[in-house]
Amino acid sequence: MKRSVIDITDLTKEEIDRLTDTANDIINDPEKYAHICAGKKLATLFFEPSTRTRMSFEAAMYELGGAVLSMTDAASSSASKGESVSDTAKVISCYADIIAMRHPKEGAAYVASNAASVPVINAGDGGHCHPTQTLADLLTIKREKGGFSGLTVGLCGDLKFGRTVHSLIQALSRYDDIRLVLISPEELRLPDYVYNDVILKNRMKCTQTTDLLWALPKLDVLYMTRVQRERFFNEEDYLRLKDSYILTPEKLFLAKRDMIVMHPLPRVNEISVAIDDDPRACYFEQVKNGKYMRMALILKLLRENGAITY
Ligand code: CP
C-alpha cells in the first residue's frame, strides 16, 4: 500500500521521533546515506514559487544518491493547457519513484496522492498546511531546546494564512505541557478550524494577544511569520497589516537569554537583519534541518513503498 504525507497527522508522534533520529544520524554520518537512493528519482512539482522547500527536497535526493526531475513553474507545464492535478500525478508516477508537490489550492496534494501510484509529499497547499516545514521546525526545537515538554511557544504574525503555523500547532498538540501564545492582529487570527479542532480539542494551554512586547518575556520559542501577501484578496489590507510585527534588537532585549527565534522564511520585514548574528536566531539552522528531515522522510516513504532497502 502506497504511503503519502499530506498532513502532519499522516505521521504518528513515534514516526516523527524516528525521523528526527534518522535526521540526526544523517547529520552525524552523511556518507552512510550517500548512495541509498541510487537509481531512484524524485519529481518536484511546484505550481507555486519556492526557494527552500523545492531546493532542499532536491538537495536531499542528490545527497541520498538519487536523481531529480524538476517542474519549477506551472506556466511551463501542461497544467497551463488545462491538464488536471490528477492526470499530472498519474503521468509523473510513470517517471518518478516519489513526488513532492506544492500547489496554491488547498487539497491539491491530497488529490494528487489519490491519483499517483507513487508516494506524494505535500510541499505546501495554499493556506492549508506544510508538513515538511513542520518536520524542520520540530527538529530545530528538539536540537536547540532538547525536547518539547514545558515550553512556551509564541507564534507571531499571519496566523490566518500561515500554513506552517497550522501544521506546527497540530504537531505540538501531541506533546505534553506545551503552552501556546498566539500573537497576531485581530484580522489575522488563527482560523477557527485550527483553534477549535486542534487547540481546544487537545486542551492545549493557549493565550491570544495582539501584543508582542507583552508576550516576549514569557517565551522559550518565538516563531515569526510573514504576512502572506499572495493570499490576500485586497492589496490595501495587506499594506495595512504587513508590518504589524517587526522584531528588532531592542525588542529582543525583553526576551529570555535562551529563547530561540524561528521563522520558516522567506522573511520580508518581520525580523531585522541585525538579529541574524544573535545566538538566539535559529532560522538559518531551520533551513539546514529541513534538508535533513526531508532526507529522512524520502528514505522512509521509499522504503515503505518497497523502492529501496536499507
Ligand atoms: N519555508 C518555505 O516554505 O519556503 P519556500 O516558500 O521558499 O519553499
C-alpha distances out from residue 115 to 3, 4, 75, 87, 126, Å: 12, 11, 22, 7, 19
**Residue ranges per domain, the chain?**
8-130+288-304, 131-286
Equal fold, 8-130+288-304 vs 131-286: yes
**Which residue of 265, 267, 268, 283 sits with most ligand 1 atoms within 8 Å of its CB, as the best mutation to test the pocket?**
265
Q: Look at residue 225 and give its three-state secondary structure.
A: coil
Residues near ligand 1 with C-beta < 6 Å? 50-53, 124, 133, 264-266
H/E element, 168: helix 163-172
Q: Is 163 a catalytic residue?
A: no
Task: Show the cell assigned to 151.
Answer: 515550553
How many whole angstroms from 160 Cα to the centroid of ligand 1? 17
Determine the pLDDT at residue 232: 77
Determine the pLDDT at residue 254: 97
The ligand 1 atom at the shortest distance from the C-alpha of residue 123 is 3
Q: Is 53 a catalytic residue?
A: yes
Q: Give the CATH number of domain 8-130+288-304; options: 3.40.190.10, 3.30.1600.10, 3.30.1490.20, 3.40.50.1370.
A: 3.40.50.1370
CATH code of the domain made up of 131-286: 3.40.50.1370
How many whole angstroms from 266 Cα to the centroid of ligand 1? 6
Digit-coded pLDDT (tens) for 49-75: 999 999 999 999 999 999 999 998 888
Low-confidence ranges of the chain (pLDDT < 70): none
How many whole angstroms from 309 Cα to the centroid of ligand 1? 30
Whose Cα sits closest to atom 3 in ligand 1?
Answer: 53
Q: Is 166 a catalytic residue?
A: no
Q: Is 40 a catalytic residue?
A: no
Determine the pLDDT at residue 14: 96
Determine the pLDDT at residue 58: 98
Count of other CB atoms within 10 angstroms of residue 18: 14
**Which residue of 45, 46, 48, 50 sits with most ligand 1 atoms within 8 Å of its CB, as the best mutation to test the pocket?**
50
Sign of CA dihedral 230, 283, 296, 63: positive
Of 53, 132, 140, 164, the active-site residue reads 53
Determine the pLDDT at residue 285: 97
Determine the pLDDT at residue 237: 81
Q: How many residues does the chain have?
A: 310
Q: Is 130 a catalytic residue?
A: yes
State the number of CA atoms in the 13 A half-sphere of 140 facing the CB.
Answer: 29
How many whole angstroms from 181 Cα to the centroid of ligand 1? 23
Determine the pLDDT at residue 212: 97
Determine the pLDDT at residue 127: 82
Determine the pLDDT at residue 76: 84
